[in-house]
Structure formats: structure tokens, C-alpha cells
């Protein structure tokens, strides 16, 4: 049986099982910095407002700084029986400076305290993750700019469709990551309001200054409504959703890296540092790293669904259910951070097998659409009719074991007499890629333009 720390109403000791279920210290100890710095600013405000004395404030500050040192050097263990990080720190502060320590909790509650600590932690991590996303965009831009003329088959339905360049393909992922970055920053801005001073649910009769604490802690302003604030976990859901979408993008890219590193594709070679062997098949080199990145999206989605479910149906205001908000968020942050670091390293180290990409582009009649477009432009027939004539050309090439770009002028004219010698320059993968010069298209010129625009954006944020 453990003694209750924060209970005037309950006289009996807690059941050991209650203690085990109730305790959040094993995971919320991660918030010790925010808790201590939040208390420093809160007690400064109490002193400014004449709610505690100068010497009480000094005692509290001295003790809080000491507790931080003790935690960091390991002499104050956060593996004890305290209910949570807030109780643990307050207990130790009070042990160090006695009665002054007890005044630290004036005009606040653990409800606004945990809302502050957790929100502030998530805000900092939001900027960290966004920074790592930015780094990945930079890497994609670097690789993309080396491959604006490297042809590979662009696919739909995972079937060869039209020739594109590898830089263009990577710029699709850079575009996804740009949206991710913006999503993190949007959330940061939306949530950068301070919860401290909301107290239990209804504010406080003490003459506090929430503007001061908000500004000191780096928030734009205090939140509007205390009842909402103590039970609001939208900031955590934003983080979980943003990470879920990010991990989905990472998973899609990983899937392509896995496909591209098969013997069938052989478009890329992962560096040995990012592949593993098989315990039984000595010849194997497995893409475990992209597989893990692909798999990790699962836990990110699970964490999002977990917290959405916790929050659903909670009446106002604080309920202990919300203590379940933290572990999933911590896990998603760790997952996203590690994944982004690994992805970046892996992309930098991988080899691009340009000639295999080019070779693969000679299969699947990638220029077929170009013949149809030629017939529309040159002969003036409807696209539908051109489509059928081109189908005949594809079948003809197929029957001879050739790609459509390998047919001779005579072959093509035997299919439709209106086809002229200028068709030869058009039925070429590189010409086809460069012909798609419409804005946002795959031509080398358009790809370079996309890279330039993205570079300028990256420098502006």
C-alpha cells in the first residue's frame, strides 16, 4: 500500500494496483524540462503579481534548478513511486526549500500544468520534425537535379505508361514532403497558445498575469477559454495526424525503393550500410530498412486512432482518460524522427542505376501516346481514331518482338499511309519525355523549373 500524496479527502492508503494503473511517472518523466521551466515562469509571475514574496520565489527557483541538475546527473531518480512528473518535482522542491516549495502550486492545478507541459513539448518536437522533413527535401532536390535527363518508365497501375525522368519522380516526393512541412508549421501556429493559469477548469481568483507567462514561455498569447484548454488535446491529435501522413509518404517512397532494388527492376542499389543479409541464403541482400520504414506507418496510424478514441465522448473538462494521451505521441515522435534520419541517410548513400532505368524504358511502348498525339496534330483526326491506329501499331510491334519506338517508317506507313518521316523523331523516349513540357510536366526543362521553385521555397522557410 502506498500513501497518497495529493489527497486531503482520501484517508486510506492507495491499493498497490491503483498505484500501478494511476501512475504516469514512468512515461511523463520525459516532460521534466517543460515542468521545471514552466514552474520557474509561473512562480516568477506569482511574485510579480505580489501573490508570493521575492524570497519565496528565489527559494523556488533555486530548488527547481537544483532538481533539474539532480535529474540530469541521476541523483534524483524518476523511477520512484510518485504519481507523475508534476508530483515528483513538487515533492523534491518542497524537500529542498520547505514551505516556500508548497507555494509554487498557487493559482494553478495539475490540469493546466500537464496541459502546458505536454503542449509545449509537442510544439518543440513539431519544429524538430519539420526541420528533419526539410533536410529530406534538400536531399531529394540534390538527387533530382542530377537526374533531370535520366529516363525511366513512368507508371500507372504499376504498368509502363509514359517515359519520365528520375528527377521528376523524386520531385513528386519532394512535393509530398513540402506539404508535410507546411502541415507541421500550420499546426505549430494554430496551437501556440499558453494553457498555464487556467487552473483546474474555471480560472483562479488570484490576480494572475497569463499574458506574462504566455510570452515568457514563447507562446503567442494565453488560450481563450479555460474549460476547453484543460481538456483540449487537439494539439496532440494534430501531431499524430501530421506524423501519420508523413509516415504514409515515407512508406510509399520506401515501397518504390524496395521494388527498384529487386533484380527485376534493378533501378537502384541500396548501400550495404542500409541492407541486411539472410541468415540462410548467403547470396541475399535484403532491403530491411525501407521495409521497416514502410511498416512503421502502422504504429503511427494506431497512435492516432488510439487518441481519437480516448478523446471521443469525454465530457468537459479534465478527465483522467487524457493521461492516455502521452505514450502514443512520444512513440510517434520517436518513430518519425528516426525514420526521417534513416531515410535521408539511405537516399544519400544509394546508387542510381541509370542505364537499367533507360533499358526498362524500351519495354512497354512508352511512346504510344506520342504516336496518337502525332496523328491528331499532323493528320487532324480525332484522338479516339488516332488511339485505335496506334493500338494497331503497338500490336504490330508486339508481334515482331519490338518496342513501338523501334518500328521503321515503312512499318508505320503500312499501318497508316498518312504517317510521315517526321514521326521518327517523335517516337523516342527522350523526345517523348521532353515533349511533355506543359507546366508541372516531366520534360527536363519543367523538372528543372520545379527544382528551382522548390529550392527558392526551401530558402524562404
Sites of contact with ligand ARG (CB under 6 A): 24, 28, 84, 110-111, 114, 318, 320, 322-323
Cα(339)–Cα(294) distance, rounded to whole angstroms? Answer: 10
For strands 159-165 and 193-194, give the pairing.
Answer: unpaired
Task: For the CB of residue 116, give the shortest distance to ligand ARG in the complex, in Å.
Answer: 11
Task: For the CB of residue 10, give the shortest distance to ligand ARG in the complex, in Å.
Answer: 12
- Cell triple for residue 126? 513539431
Number of residue whose CB is nearest ligand ARG: 84
- A 10 A CB-CB count for 401 gives 7
Nearer to ligand ARG, 87 or 185 (CB): 87
| Annotation says 157 is catalytic | yes
DSSP 3-state of 166: helix
Rounded to 10 degrees, the C-alpha dihedral 40/42/47/49 comes to 160
- Cell triple for residue 127? 519544429
DSSP 3-state of 328: helix
| Annotation says 297 is catalytic | no
Query: In 348-376, which positions are buried (b, 16+ CB within 10 angstroms) versus exposed (e)?
Result: eebebbbebbbebbbebbbbbbbbbbbbb
Cα(354)–Cα(346) distance, rounded to whole angstroms? Answer: 18
Nearer to ligand ARG, 123 or 353 (CB): 123
Task: For the CB of residue 84, give the shortest distance to ligand ARG in the complex, in Å.
Answer: 4
Nearer to ligand ARG, 38 or 290 (CB): 38
- Cell triple for residue 363? 519495354
Catalytic residue among 55, 271, 278, 408: 278
Phi, psi of 421 (to 5 degrees): -65, -25
Task: For the CB of residue 318, give the shortest distance to ligand ARG in the complex, in Å.
Answer: 6
Task: For the CB of residue 253, give the shortest distance to ligand ARG in the complex, in Å.
Answer: 35
Nearer to ligand ARG, 111 or 447 (CB): 111
Nearer to ligand ARG, 83 or 344 (CB): 83
| Residue showing cell 501530421 | 242
Rounded to 10 degrees, the C-alpha dihedral 123/124/130/133 comes to -130
Nearer to ligand ARG, 121 or 241 (CB): 121
Catalytic residue among 11, 157, 279, 460: 157
Residue of 99, 113, 126, 122 lying closest to 24 (CA atoms): 113
Task: For the CB of residue 242, give the shortest distance to ligand ARG in the complex, in Å.
Answer: 22
Cα(395)–Cα(153) distance, rounded to whole angstroms? Answer: 19
By annotation, the residues acting in catalysis are 157, 278
Amino acid at each position: 500500500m502506498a500513501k497518497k500524496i495529493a489527497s486531503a479527502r482520501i484517508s486510506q492508503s492507495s491499493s498497490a494496483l491503483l498505484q500501478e494503473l494511476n501512475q504516469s511517472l514512468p512515461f511523463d518523466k520525459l516532460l521534466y524540462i517543460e515542468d521545471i521551466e514552466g514552474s520557474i515562469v509561473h512562480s516568477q509571475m506569482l511574485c510579480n503579481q505580489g501573490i508570493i514574496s521575492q524570497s519565496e520565489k528565489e527559494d523556488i527557483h533555486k530548488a527547481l534548478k537544483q532538481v533539474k541538475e539532480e535529474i540530469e546527473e541521476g541523483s534524483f531518480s524518476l523511477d520512484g513511486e510518485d504519481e507523475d512528473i508534476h508530483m515528483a518535482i513538487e515533492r523534491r522542491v518542497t524537500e529542498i526549500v520547505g514551505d516556500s516549495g508548497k507555494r509554487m502550486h498557487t493559482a494553478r492545478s495539475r490540469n493546466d500544468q500537464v496541459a502546458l507541459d505536454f503542449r509545449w513539448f509537442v510544439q518543440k518536437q513539431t519544429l524538430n520534425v519539420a526541420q528533419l522533413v526539410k533536410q529530406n527535401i534538400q536531399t531529394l532536390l540534390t538527387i533530382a537535379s542530377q537526374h533531370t535527363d535520366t529516363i525511366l518508365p513512368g507508371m500507372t497501375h504499376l504498368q509502363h505508361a509514359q517515359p519520365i525522368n528520375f528527377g521528376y519522380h523524386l520531385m513528386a516526393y519532394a512535393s509530398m514532403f513540402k506539404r508535410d512541412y507546411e502541415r507541421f508549421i500550420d499546426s505549430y501556429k494554430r496551437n501556440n497558445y499558453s494553457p498555464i493559469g487556467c487552473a483546474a477548469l474555471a480560472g483562479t481568483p488570484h490576480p494572475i498575469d497569463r499574458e506574462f507567462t504566455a510570452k515568457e514561455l514563447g507562446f503567442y498569447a494565453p488560450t481563450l477559454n479555460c474549460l476547453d484548454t484543460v481538456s483540449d488535446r487537439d494539439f496532440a491529435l494534430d501531431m499524430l495526424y501530421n506524423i501519420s501522413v508523413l509516415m504514409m509518404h515515407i512508406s510509399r517512397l520506401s515501397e518504390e525503393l524496395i521494388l527498384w532494388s529487386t533484380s527485376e527492376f534493378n533501378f537502384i542499389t541500396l548501400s550495404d550500410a542500409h541492407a541486411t543479409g539472410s541468415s540462410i541464403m548467403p547470396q541475399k541482400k535484403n532491403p530491411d530498412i525501407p521495409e521497416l520504414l514502410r511498416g512503421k506507418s502502422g504504429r503511427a496510424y494506431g497512435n492516432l486512432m488510439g487518441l481519437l478514441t480516448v478523446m471521443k465522448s469525454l465530457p468537459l473538462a479534465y478527465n483522467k482518460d487524457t493521461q492516455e494521451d502521452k505514450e502514443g505521441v512520444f512513440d510517434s515522435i520517436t518513430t518519425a524522427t528516426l525514420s526521417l534520419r534513416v531515410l535521408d541517410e539511405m537516399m544519400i548513400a544509394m546508387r542510381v542505376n541509370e542505364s537499367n532505368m533507360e533499358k526498362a524504358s524500351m519495354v512497354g511502348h512508352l511512346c504510344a501516346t506520342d504516336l496518337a498525339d502525332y496523328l491528331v496534330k499532323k493528320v487532324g483526326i480525332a484522338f479516339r481514331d488516332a488511339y485505335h491506329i496506334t493500338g494497331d501499331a503497338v500490336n504490330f510491334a508486339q508481334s515482331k518482338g519490338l518496342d513501338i519506338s523501334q518500328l521503321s517508317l515503312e512499318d508505320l506507313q503500312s499501318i497508316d499511309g498518312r504517317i510521315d518521316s517526321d514521326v521518327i523523331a517523335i517516337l523516342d523516349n527522350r523526345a517523348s519525355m521532353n515533349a511533355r513540357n506543359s507546366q508541372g510536366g516531366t520534360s527536363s526543362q519543367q523538372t528543372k523549373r520545379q527544382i528551382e521553385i522548390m529550392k527558392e521555397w526551401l530558402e524562404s522557410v
